[in-house]
Amino acid sequence: MRSCLLALFAVSVPSLSLAQEFTTPMDVVSTLYGTYFLNVPITDIAPYFSDELTDRLGGTTVGHDQFRAAGIDPLTGRLDWEPRSFKLDIVKQTDDTAEIKASFQDGATAVTVTYELVREHLHGWQIDHIAGTAGDKTWCTDAIVSMADP
């Protein structure tokens, strides 16, 4: 199963470059998860974020090192995940906003992560909010912002 997912992301992820402009909301989210399936650690997730969310982070780097220190990864619900039945769906999309849902099983736990995205004039599609649930654990963008607080 993992090899099938790797092949899917190798084909569907346009590039792992953080400097690119994402032309669809699905590009943003699939590229992020593609880095996980390809074991390419993200050192800074902020380039995927909207200007507003980046401003809330105050220019701080937030990536796998900060996730480890905080004890949770907001994209997977935990640090060492073993996904099964991974699925990305477009919940809704307008010209300038979109909602993408990632859902998968991690062991016996169902995990759902919802991404709200905005289309920015200068950057294309960017993540504006993340909210997730894994069993009885919940998290949202505020958890990422708190990782960046000194």
**Tokens in use for 60?**
């701080």
Per-residue pLDDT reduced to its tens digit, 115-142: 999 999 888 999 999 999 998 989 998 8
pTM recorded for the entire structure? 0.81
Per-residue pLDDT reduced to its tens digit, 70-109: 777 888 888 788 888 999 999 999 999 999 999 999 989 9
The 3-state DSSP composition of the chain as helix, strand, coil percent (nearest 5) reads 35, 35, 35
- Is residue 18 predicted with pLDDT exceeding 50? no
DSSP symbol at 21: P
Q: For the chain, how many helices (H) and strands (E)?
A: 5, 5
3-state secondary structure of 2: helix
Strand pairing of 137-140 and 97-106?
A: unpaired
CB neighbourhood size of 93 (10 A): 16
CB neighbourhood size of 70 (10 A): 16
State whether CATH 3.10.450 applies to domain 2-148: yes
